[in-house]
Amino acid sequence: MFDTQPSPLGDRRVTLEHLRAFVLLAEGMGFQQAGLQLYRSQSAVTQSLKRLEEILDCKLLERRQGHIMGLTEDGERFLPAAKEILIRTSEALSAMKQPEISGRLLVGVPDDFKVADLHGAISRCAELNRKLRLEVISALSSQLLYQIENSGLDLIILKCLENFVPSDNRWKMHSLRREPLYWVAAQQYGFDSMTEVPLVIFPDGCCYRNAALTALDKAGKNAYGAYVSASYENIRAAVSAGLGIGVLPASALAEDHIILGDEEGFPELPMVELVMIQATHKYATKQLAEFLSRSAFTRHTMASIGRGEIA
């Protein structure tokens, strides 16, 4: 029917370096900057991508103008796979650099934070350490802290405001990501004559909500929950639909959201952090924490792929 055995299964000409160049470029870096990340010249990156496109026999980048204007359809299709391969490679290699993790660990993760690939990272960690048994509990960030004692969690990941101080000083805390929190609205939304601010916001207990309410309070503004949901998707959709003003971290903004600031009369919001807390002092807890902090899910971009130590 179709040839199976003598298949071109895996075109051996493609290298991981090709993929690195592509991913960096796909994330909006120019050829020059990508070259910097990879410790290569701009020309090397150009040629590398050209070669990759040759091998795949399709264009990956749309470069109408003097510089890249996004991905082609093929590029869009190839990007997730390329990233996945690079992530798996880098995780596999760094996993080999520390002793195998073993034991049973309870991990708490937020069910409301748009964490790029936290679940992926956890499952890859389990794949790479077969003697490790991971049990994951998902809950609202605000509840995870209480669960440490109740459920005996070893490691939790939660979102919080910057300068968050853990209630137990035996816990080791580590910030994975830090980003600004914004007031956002749909582009077409009119907010001139507002007496009360209609908020599109997470339920009680959410730290974004607290930060927003506190800030509005200080600024002497009134607000009400025009739309409340624990789901990021719902919140973003509600903001896009113009149901009110949202409070979202930079990574969760939708295309059509615009940021409201001083000019519109909105007070500044604090930075938010995704932090990891080691609640127990098992060696495995520490190892898992190291794996996750090295893992790509903490990064917004793959910029770090170029920082490999070179002989």
Partner DNA sequence: GACTCAAAATAAGCTCAACTAATTATGGCA
Partner DNA sequence: TGCCATAATTAGTTGAGCTTATTTTGAGTC
CA atoms within 13 A on the CB side of 295: 26
C-beta separation of 242 from 196 below 8 A: no
Burial class (CB in 10 A: 0-12, 13-18, 19+), 156: buried
Identify which of residues 32 and 293 has a Cβ nearer to DNA in the complex.
32
Which of 44, 85, 250, 259 is close enough to bind a second copy by CB under 8 A? 85
DSSP tag of 42: H
Cα angle vertex 273, ends 225, 98, to 5°?
145
31 binds, among DNA, a second copy, none (CB under 5 to 8 A by kind): DNA
- Taking CA atoms, 152 is separated from 126, 158, 258, in Å, by 20, 16, 42
Any contact of residue 146 with DNA (CB under 7 A)?
no
Stretch 39-78: interaction string toward DNA, x if CB under 7 A: xxxxxx-xxxxxx-----------x-xxxx----------
Q: What is the enclosing helix (H) or strand (E) of 134?
A: strand 132-139
Q: How far is the CB of 149 from a second copy (least distance, A)?
A: 22
Q: How far is the CB of 66 from a second copy (least distance, A)?
A: 27
Write the DSSP string, 212-232. HHHHHHHTT-EEEEEEE-S-H
Which of 56, 126, 137, 213 is close enough to bind a second copy by CB under 8 A? 56
Name the one range near a second copy by CB under 8 A: 162-170, 226-234, 251-259, 288-296.
288-296
- Please give the Cα distance from 211 to 103 (Å, whole number): 38
Q: Which residues contact a second copy by CB under 8 A?
A: 1-2, 4-17, 20, 55-58, 74, 77-78, 80-82, 84-86, 88-97, 100, 127-128, 130, 172, 174, 176, 289-290, 293-294, 296, 298, 304-311
Q: Which residues contact DNA by CB under 7 A?
A: 13, 15, 17, 30-32, 35, 39-44, 46-51, 63, 65-68
